[in-house]
Amino acid sequence: MVGYAFMGAAHSQAWRTVNRVFDLPLQARMAAICGRDQGRVAEAATRLGWQEHTTDWRSLVGRDDIDLIDVCTPGDSHAEIAIAALAAGKHVLCEKPLANTIDEARAMAAAAARAEAEGVRSVCGFNYRRVPAVALMRRLVADGRIGEIRHVRAVYLQDWITDPQFPLVWRLQKDKAGSGALGDIGAHIIDLTQYVTGQLITGVSGMTETFVKQRPLPAASNGLSAATGDGRTGTGAVTVDDAALFLARLDGGAIATYEATRFATGRKNGLRVEINGSLGSVVFDFERMNELEFYDATRPAAEQGFARILVTEPEHPYMSGWWPPGHLIGYEHSFTHQARDLIEAIATGQAVAPSFADALQVQLVLDAVERSAGLGSTWSEVEPALTEIAA
Ligand code: SOE
């Protein structure tokens, strides 16, 4: 694993747990973790359960006893690490968004396609797909239970930078993060809605805003939390969006609205998606992540209403490995499911989604939103991802 902050900890939890919960053909061995700071990576190795630690990620890519590289760094190093790992024949799990630019994402998707031909797997870490209620949502939609999809309504609301004194962490710097709320959390709802509906976004009209343009320089930070007052003084420019909104059309005929913001005061991790079809609706809200709301318009009028499905039955996606019905799971479990699916893909030789090509397509949507926002919300088409790879 490269990186040991928030995502590094979440992925480590998954690697520690996955073989204890699911019966898998391969065993994960947490060989080594890498970070730039010797002292901090040594501490992280002990705390997170890695056998060794290093400050040189290239040494991991060159090792014969390492089969998989898990990239949990900020976006500015995804492409370099993932492409080197794939070229060395290592399977790769890469955090989202795939890259900071379209060119990087395209190069990564091409590297993944080349590696795939050699039996090397790659997957992008859109973990919310692997929340059981979301996977059930997809199953209901794919089974035609809500009929033809008309509306997609998706929001991802956070509030962790509403305080203008919150420091200028890497997620607020374009050269490190690529974009702000748009790529960090907007990318999740783009992937999630495309996954659930089976439809791809073809065009958008977008708007972005940066409410706080200067922030105090941070102390050493691991991303979401950062202390000020370590002796560094002054401020720096915020170079990403604080919020992004867009309208979209999907290729199956649905129309959609998306909102991603870090300024929704009081909303901590409010990912909510509602899909309305000709025969019913499905609604997922991460703050009630064990539940799925389902409205079945084919039921007799007198019995119609939103049903609250508690997604904890062994028949539900991923749930057979966990607890008896009604005993809830949490955020970390989506990462364990991600690790499970990747291990199974490696063992069976099957592809695993979302591929780097899928993640490139999300990147192309992000790009279309930024282009549109830069042109006063002008309608902007999304390039097809496959064309990009072929080119
Ligand atoms: C920060 O906004 C963040 O940690 C994202 O980077 C994650 O992808 C999201 O799941 C939670 O919020």
| 113 C-alpha to ligand 1 centroid (Å) | 27
CA of residue 143 to ligand 1 center, whole Å:
30
Ligand 1 mean position, distance from CA 269 (Å): 8
Amino acid at site 68 = L
Nearest atom, ligand 1, residue 160 CA: 2
pLDDT of 305-350, one tens digit each?
A: 999 999 999 999 999 999 999 999 999 999 999 999 999 999 999 9
Task: Tell me, in angstroms, the distance from the centre of ligand 1 to residue 185's CA.
Answer: 6
Map residue 3 onto helix, strand or coil.
coil
Structure confidence by residue, pLDDT tens digits, 24-82: 999 999 999 999 999 999 999 999 999 999 999 999 999 999 999 999 999 999 999 99
What pTM was computed for the model? 0.96
DSSP assignment of 219-260, as one string?
Answer: SSB-SS-B---SS---EEE--S-SEEEEEEEETTS-EEEEEE
Question: Strand pairing partners for 246?
Answer: 206, 258
Per-residue pLDDT of 91-140, as tens digits, reads: 999 999 999 999 999 999 999 999 999 999 999 999 999 999 999 999 99
Q: How far is the CA of 146 from the centre of ligand 1 (A)?
A: 30
Give the pLDDT confidence score for residue 177 in this predicted structure. 98
List the structure tokens of 97. 């968004």
Q: What local confidence, expressed as pLDDT, does residue 386 receive?
A: 62
CA of 147 to the centre of ligand 1 (A): 32
- Nearest Cα to Cα of residue 330 among 161, 187, 157, 127: 127
Q: How far apart are CA 73 and CA 79, in angstroms?
A: 10
Atom of ligand 1 nearest to the CA of 331: 10
Ligand 1 cavity residues, CB under 6 Å: 6, 158, 184-185, 224, 269
Could you tell which of 6, 158, 161 is best to mutate to test the pocket of ligand 1, judged by most ligand atoms within 8 Å of the CB?
A: 6
Give the CA distances from residue 68 to residues 101, 127, 251, 387, in Å, rounded to whole numbers and listed in that order: 24, 18, 35, 28
Contacts for 143 with CB less than 8 Å, ≥ 6 apart: none
pLDDT at 128: 98
Cα angle: 263, vertex 268, 270; to 5 degrees: 90
* pLDDT at residue 383 tops 70: yes
d(CA 130, CA 335): 8
Q: Is the dihedral of CA 141, 143, 146, 149 positive or negative?
A: positive
Element (H, E) at 216: strand 214-216
The closest residue, in CA terms, to atom 6 on ligand 1 is: 184
Give the per-residue pLDDT at 224. Answer: 56
